[in-house]
Structure 1
């Protein structure tokens, strides 16, 4: 099906995610025309699958009344996210068209800082009293279902909205009709504070295999839930940001497709310019050993190979460490244990690579060159691996993002170390003319 022709009957049968993918390829006026022809509930669901920048663009051209209807029908968390992205003038125009309940809900959810659990939670969750029977609880959930994100899990609250426990719909259906919710609920469920990082909520959802994790405020009152689908979005966004930082670009908030030339230039230029000056140290190291290089020109053949091996080993170690720190698998206290293990792994890798490169060394320069190259290979792989492992821990200790231990940074440090190690070994082990 082409993106220029989208019959109404096709739009009505496509899954909202698939329809949103097609609308992303259409100009904003044409996309809004398709959306406006859909029933309101389906329109809101499809709108929720659109990229943030697409949502903002459509909101700018939508008629005020139609936009107000759409915002009212959206899920609470998606509504708050859209509100936060709208220009101030658009908010002032939209606000009066919304009901008081929606305005208050938006104000409350939008008050949490970006990147926190509160910023991605929804206030549309099912609530039960502990004194209800199973039959009464099912009836209560039936009445709440239309306006809640999920009723798979209901949250049992005190009159002060303290979280007493959770009960699943399955528990209620299988229980005797006169069993009380207080007897069926699971007490002390996992929860997160509203000001905690959103990634923490995602980790709790994944660790305990929850459909949603409850969110509480500073007063221990429940204020919302982070659902599994929102947790997946958070995890995906965090992984994407880490990958971008690992490439030395920083986070592209709008995504690669929407990023302009100026944004891509700003994100990439800083690291590249800084690393130009860092790599001057490699040139200075080579210059310091001009006599050794002049006496043994075959050393130059192995220079790219050795420094690349150091950088590759460092990048591997850094990637594994950054990811483990990001997921909470390891912490600062694990550095010493991991360092000892990395020494053993790096030595094994270095020795394996040294055996391979020594044969080329014999062919290109004889046994003396082969010895220098083989010993250097072991040392540069060891140095690169230890830099790649330790730099993320150092940045984490300094309260900086470990993902900033990017491949370009680790590679540059390993390059400088590789040059110095290589020519120091050569100067120490190779004879000099007249020496």
Structure 2
């Protein structure tokens, strides 16, 4: 008996498209399940191949493919696909993912796709699109399992089974059942396990946990993510001002939110505005727009360094050796401040440090600064000695280094907490910004110490 030909173990997207059958695309999806590999192969396609793929791939497989891609790659694929195919794909996607994708489209493109979807689906997506992009409600899953608070466990289980058949794949029903009244006011939450194991005649009201952790619809997405992670929840209820249940933010959504916020913070700390697109998709023009504003701000802030040097021109003429150590001093101050702000901003992001801890933070950093100042002063003294300068200059460099380190420790430990108090993202206290602030003030400290210690300057 002749054996069947085994399926291929490798198949790239070019080959699958060339075969021109939905089965070939489905096989490619099975063989290439890594999102990065999928995105790379999609990027290599010609426009004609992308159009052919959009026409060939069944909507269910299209939803599976797009759901694993970077959002911006998914948006491009949606734009190229025929509207009816794109609409069918979005109908099958997870609601929050589909809404995020639609939000990236231009209004005419968005309306064209919504017009091609079933009415019930359009209502769900419009409900998500009405919320601000950075809010918890914009990232929630609206389909949740609810039961009447007054029902018995037997009636609730029957309701869950009925409800389950109607729920979409993205409803994340594996953890909690929410007890509500006729107007969807949230009364409590119970796990599936507790509901199934309960006495059939017990009322749901007596089973649920009434002290439910929730967030309001307009809560910032980062705050919602922190609440879910802090309390180790699988799903976080989102409610309106009247405590009506609107949906849930899930642990899957939180992973995306945390990654997005961490990327934005890292970009801000580098002295740039967030790109809002993957780096490899950013054009030189976009990179220029995101960087130039901060560079100009830092340029203006740094300009006063020249003013300080000009003000102490006579001192530099009198003791030329002072100029040798200017880069060393201001560089050390900037590095010290950057270390502190990087550590402190991360601690604030994970809620290890709060506003009430400002006194402890300053005390801790100043104590640490004393030890660092001593070490850096010693290193500065040794460096001055190797350059063969006078002993008074060696002492001036050492003392100035110690003072600059302590000053940098003070302001770097205060500014992030102060900005938090003023409701400004502490991540804007970038390494370049701290270095710029310390540069000018560090020079002032240096020359004032020199005036005090050097006889040539009247010390």
- For 2:60, the equivalent position in structure 1 comes to 41
TM-score (norm 2): 0.87
Deviation of residue 67 (structure 1)? 1.3
Q: 1:186 to 1:15 in 2, by over 3 A?
A: farther
- For 1:303, the equivalent position in structure 2 comes to 326
Q: Aligned to 2:113, what secondary structure does the other structure show?
A: helix
Distance 2:116 2:28 in 1: 31
Q: Aligned to 1:186, what secondary structure does the other structure show?
A: coil
- Contact kept in structure 2, 1:166 and 1:187, CA below 8 Å: yes
Aligned residue among 157, 160, 172 for 1:150: 172
Q: Identify the range of structure 1 (248-257 vs 84-93) with the bigger mean alpha-carbon deviation.
A: 84-93
Deviation of residue 429 (structure 1)? 0.6
Q: Identify the range of structure 1 (138-147 vs 401-410) with the bigger mean alpha-carbon deviation.
A: 138-147
Q: 1:174 to 1:22 in 2, by over 3 A?
A: farther
Q: Aligned to 1:50, what secondary structure does the other structure show?
A: coil
- Contact kept in structure 2, 1:205 and 1:228, CA below 8 Å: yes
- Is 2:92 the partner of 1:92? no
- Is 2:44 the partner of 1:21? no
Distance 2:371 2:429 in 1: 24
Q: Aligned to 2:271, what secondary structure does the other structure show?
A: coil
Distance 2:257 2:40 in 1: 24
Q: 1:166 to 1:13 in 2, by over 3 A?
A: farther
- For 2:74, the equivalent position in structure 1 comes to 55
- Contact kept in structure 1, 2:66 and 2:74, CA below 8 Å: yes
- Contact kept in structure 1, 2:32 and 2:38, CA below 8 Å: no
- For 1:119, the equivalent position in structure 2 comes to 138
Q: Deviations over 1:158-190 (max 9, x none)?
A: 222111221222333444555554333222121
Across the two proteins, how many residue pairs are aligned to each other?
435
- For 1:159, the equivalent position in structure 2 comes to 182
Question: Which runs of structure 2 are paired with 1:276-355 in the superposition (5 Å)?
Answer: 276-355=299-378
Tell me, which stretches of 5 or more residues in structure 1 are unaligned? none
Distance 1:243 1:434 in 2: 47
Q: Aligned to 2:275, what secondary structure does the other structure show?
A: coil
Tell me, which stretches of 5 or more residues in structure 2 are unaligned? 1-9, 17-23
- For 1:427, the equivalent position in structure 2 comes to 451
Distance 1:54 1:18 in 2: 11
- Is 2:208 the partner of 1:185? yes
Deviation of residue 307 (structure 1)? 0.8
Aligned residue among 81, 99, 115 for 1:80: 99
Distance 1:81 1:344 in 2: 47
Q: Identify the range of structure 1 (46-55 vs 23-32) with the bigger mean alpha-carbon deviation.
A: 23-32
Q: Deviations over 1:387-419 (max 9, x none)?
A: 222222333333332221111111101111111
- For 1:393, the equivalent position in structure 2 comes to 417
Q: 1:3 to 1:432 in 2, by over 3 A?
A: farther
Deviation of residue 144 (structure 1)? 3.7
Q: 1:168 to 1:388 in 2, by over 3 A?
A: same
- For 1:201, the equivalent position in structure 2 comes to 224
Q: Identify the range of structure 1 (330-339 vs 184-193) with the bigger mean alpha-carbon deviation.
A: 330-339
Q: Identify the range of structure 1 (308-317 vs 134-143) with the bigger mean alpha-carbon deviation.
A: 134-143
Deviation of residue 369 (structure 1)? 2.0
- Contact kept in structure 2, 1:20 and 1:50, CA below 8 Å: yes
TM-score (norm 1): 0.91
Distance 2:342 2:304 in 1: 24
Over aligned residue pairs, what C-alpha RMSD do you find?
A: 2.5
Deviation of residue 17 (structure 1)? 3.2
- Contact kept in structure 2, 1:134 and 1:177, CA below 8 Å: yes
- For 2:401, the equivalent position in structure 1 comes to 377
Q: 1:340 to 1:188 in 2, by over 3 A?
A: same
Q: Identify the range of structure 1 (271-280 vs 129-138) with the bigger mean alpha-carbon deviation.
A: 129-138
Distance 1:108 1:255 in 2: 28
Question: Which runs of structure 2 are paired with 1:358-369 in the superposition (5 Å)?
Answer: 358-364=381-387, 365-369=389-393
Distance 1:306 1:5 in 2: 61
Q: Aligned to 1:187, what secondary structure does the other structure show?
A: coil
- For 1:234, the equivalent position in structure 2 comes to 257
- Is 2:87 the partner of 1:68? yes
Q: Identify the range of structure 1 (232-241 vs 14-23) with the bigger mean alpha-carbon deviation.
A: 14-23
- For 1:104, the equivalent position in structure 2 comes to 123
Q: Deviations over 1:215-255 (max 9, x none)?
A: 00112100011111111111111111111111111111123
Deviation of residue 129 (structure 1)? 2.7
